[in-house]
Structure 1
């Protein structure tokens, strides 16, 4: 029976496995979490290969950059979707076409009897309530309505 312990072969296998794992996933720094970013604050999206399996997607916002990893196969789809949302061309952002709203015709203003108004103005001028200037100004305003 062989003694149990750490052999050179086990150390080599462990290092190779760990190295392959690092190449595939990168360092894990323990910082995980979620962040909600409003679409209107996103300005661009970029992708970069990140190991054998993953692509890093960077979402650039006003004041921050958020990075996350997806598989190489998903990267193009994610970037396309985010770009459509940023540009406002995603189907979910299109408002349904509505029929134009018919405006009700505006009611006509009541016809002013200009002659009756002029007669009243003349009476007010004769009574001394209006000066000649005031009478002339009001008379001009009434005549412009015709």
Structure 2
């Protein structure tokens, strides 16, 4: 046994070719499963400034968005709100009214990514009611 990073040990002598083949097959299956689950998202062009609007270099963004992005980066209130809520600033009316061009681009990006979630409704689910209606199933 040899010592490696973090005090972890790896075993050279006990690893057989069959084990490697099995591990390789397992990893290929995981890869195929992930491709099936998130393959459509891997090919998407996600706008980086949507995720990190206060960290992105404005010079690397589409020229039509540079001025409003510069303005939002200078907006201390938006910056504080972003730190508290992360991407929720894009869901506020402040962004829609103060930065309509950014708002329009973000809304298009959200629709393209499929980020329209339960935030469309302000109705809170009644978990207790759902649990009461659930009928436990006996083992077969």
* Shared fold, TM over 0.5: no
- Larger % of helix: which? 2
Structure of larger gyration radius: 1
Considering Cα pairs closer than 8 Å and 6+ residues apart, tell me whether 1 or 2 has the greater RCO.
2
The TM-score with structure 1 as length reference comes to 0.23
